[in-house]
Amino acid sequence: MNFALLRQEGIKYIERLAGQLWTDYNTHDPGITILEQLCYAITDLSYRLDFEIKDLLAPSSGENRKQFFTAREILTVNPLTINDYRKLLIDIDGVKNAWLEPIKNRQLPIYYDLILHTLSFKASDFTEEINLNGLYRVMVEKEKDISDEASLLEKIKTKLNQHRNLCEDFALIEILSIEEITIKADIEVDEGFDINELMAKIYFGLDNFISPNLQFFTLKELLDRGKTPEEIFEGFPLEHGFLDDEQLESFTKKDELHTSDLIRIILDITGTKTVRNITLASDKSSELEEWALALDRNLTPQLKDIDSLVNNITFYKGQIPCNLNLAKAKTHLELLQRQNTKSISTTQIKDIPIPQGQYRELSDYESIQNDFPANYGIGELGLPASASPLRKAQAKQLQAYLMFFDRLLANYFAQLEHAKDLFSFQDKNKITYFSQDISQIPGAVEILKIDNNSSAVQWNDIDLERKNRFLNHLIAQYCEKFTDYSLLLYNSILEEKLINHKVNFLQNYPQISAGRGKAFNYTDSTQVWDTDNVSGLKKRICSLIGIPYKRQTLALSDESTKTEGFHIVEHILLRPYSSQNSEDNPNFLNFGQHISEFQSSTISNKIVTCVSQEHGLFENEHIQIFDTDNYNGIYFVTNVQQNTFDIEIETGFVKSEEGQWVQVDRPLDPYSFQLSFVFPDWQFQNENFRKLIYKIISAEMPAHITPYFHWLDKSKMQYFERYYTHWLNTIVDKNATPENLKSTSNNLIKALEIASVDIREFNVLGYMTIGTDFVVS
The answer to the question of residue 492 being in a domain is no
* Coil, helix or strand at residue 686: coil
pLDDT (0 to 100) of residue 661: 94
- 89 and 103, same structural domain? yes
- 416 and 309, same structural domain? no
- 770 and 740, same structural domain? yes
- 315 and 195, same structural domain? yes
- 676 and 530, same structural domain? yes
pLDDT (0 to 100) of residue 4: 94
Residue 203 · residue 331 · CB < 8 Å: no
Q: How far apart are CA 692 and CA 681, in angstroms?
A: 15
Domain end, chosen from 151, 177, 203, is at 177
CA angle 509, 513, 516 (to 5 degrees): 130
- According to DSSP, residue 376 is labeled G
- Give the DSSP per-residue string, 231-266: HHT-SPPPSS-B--HHHHHHSPPPSEEEHHHHHHHH
The answer to the question of residue 738 being in a domain is yes
Evaluate if residue 334 carries a pLDDT over 60.
Answer: yes
CA angle 176, 179, 185 (to 5 degrees): 150
pLDDT one-digit tens code per residue, 8-46: 999 899 888 887 776 666 767 888 889 999 999 999 999
* Coil, helix or strand at residue 402: helix
pLDDT (0 to 100) of residue 759: 64
Q: How far apart are CA 276 and CA 278, in angstroms?
A: 7
Q: Of 515, 506, 475, 516, whose CA–CA distance to 237 is shortest?
A: 515
* Coil, helix or strand at residue 720: helix
Q: How far apart are CA 623 and CA 666, in angstroms?
A: 10
Three-state secondary structure along 305-345? CHHHHCCCEEEEECCEEECCCHHHHHHHHHHHHHHHCCCCC
Q: How far apart are CA 263 and CA 259, in angstroms?
A: 6
pLDDT (0 to 100) of residue 182: 92
pLDDT (0 to 100) of residue 457: 60
Q: Are strands 597-600 and 135-142 parallel, antiparallel or unpaired?
A: unpaired
Q: Which residues in 421-452 are b (16+ Cβ under 10 Å) and which e?
A: bbebbeeeebbbebebebeebbbbeeeeeeee
Q: How far apart are CA 262 and CA 279, in angstroms?
A: 10
CATH number of the domain that residue 158 is part of: 3.30.300
Positive or negative, the CA dihedral 557, 563, 566, 567 is negative
pLDDT (0 to 100) of residue 770: 47
pLDDT one-digit tens code per residue, 584-638: 567 788 888 999 999 998 888 899 999 998 888 889 889 999 999 889 999 999 9
Domain end, chosen from 630, 663, 696, is at 663
Instruction: Give the count of alpha carbons within 13 A of 465, CB side only.
Output: 5
The answer to the question of residue 645 being in a domain is yes
- 546 and 426, same structural domain? no
The answer to the question of residue 765 being in a domain is yes
For the chain, the residue count is 777
Evaluate if residue 774 carries a pLDDT over 50.
Answer: no
- 677 and 647, same structural domain? no
Q: How far apart are CA 326 and CA 317, in angstroms?
A: 18
Q: How far apart are CA 458 and CA 334, in angstroms?
A: 72
- 676 and 751, same structural domain? yes
pLDDT (0 to 100) of residue 754: 83
Q: Of 752, 727, 589, 748, whose CA–CA distance to 676 is shortest?
A: 752
Greater confidence (769 vs 293) lies with 293
pLDDT (0 to 100) of residue 48: 92
Distance of alpha carbon 395 from the chain centroid? 65
- 728 and 642, same structural domain? no
The mean per-residue pLDDT over the stretch 398-417 comes to: 93
Q: How far apart are CA 677 and CA 534, in angstroms?
A: 13
pLDDT (0 to 100) of residue 581: 53
Residue 764 · residue 706 · CB < 8 Å: yes
The answer to the question of residue 188 being in a domain is yes
Contacting residues for 519 by C-beta, under 8 A, at least 6 apart: 164, 165, 166, 167, 168, 535, 536, 570
Give percent above pLDDT 90 in the chain: 46
pLDDT (0 to 100) of residue 147: 87
The answer to the question of residue 511 being in a domain is no
Residue 586 · residue 579 · CB < 8 Å: yes
Neighbour tally for 324: CB within 10 Å: 18
pLDDT (0 to 100) of residue 578: 65
The answer to the question of residue 230 being in a domain is no
Give the helix/strand (H/E) hosting 730. helix 714-731
Instruction: Look at the chain and report how many structural domains it folds into.
Output: 5
CATH number of the domain that residue 626 is part of: 2.40.30.20
Positive or negative, the CA dihedral 80, 84, 89, 92 is negative
CA torsion 627→633→636→639, rounded to 10°? -40
pLDDT one-digit tens code per residue, 297-333: 889 999 999 988 888 899 998 888 888 889 999 999 9
The answer to the question of residue 540 being in a domain is yes
Q: Which domain holds residue 193?
A: 179-214+251-340
Q: How far apart are CA 379 and CA 404, in angstroms?
A: 16
**What interhelical angle do 738-752 and 714-731 show, nearest 10?**
160
Q: Of 425, 732, 684, whose CA–CA distance to 542 is shortest?
A: 684
Evaluate if residue 89 carries a pLDDT over 60.
Answer: yes
Q: Of 745, 631, 760, 772, whose CA–CA distance to 119 is shortest?
A: 745
pLDDT one-digit tens code per residue, 144-164: 888 899 999 999 999 999 999
Q: How far apart are CA 484 and CA 301, in angstroms?
A: 57
pLDDT one-digit tens code per residue, 668-702: 889 999 999 999 988 888 888 888 888 889 889 88
pLDDT one-digit tens code per residue, 714-742: 999 999 999 999 999 999 888 888 888 88
Residue 186 · residue 277 · CB < 8 Å: yes
Q: How far apart are CA 341 and CA 306, in angstroms?
A: 18
Mean pLDDT of the chain: 86
Give the pLDDT band (50/70/90) at residue 767: very low
Evaluate if residue 486 carries a pLDDT over 50.
Answer: yes
**Helix locations, 508-627, DSSP H:** 509-514, 536-545
- 725 and 644, same structural domain? no
- 655 and 697, same structural domain? no
pLDDT (0 to 100) of residue 562: 66
Neighbour tally for 667: CB within 10 Å: 18
Domain end, chosen from 114, 149, 177, is at 177
Distance of alpha carbon 64 from the chain centroid? 26
Q: Are strands 118-120 and 774-776 parallel, antiparallel or unpaired?
A: unpaired
- 362 and 334, same structural domain? no
Give the helix/strand (H/E) hosting 663. strand 659-663
pLDDT (0 to 100) of residue 427: 82
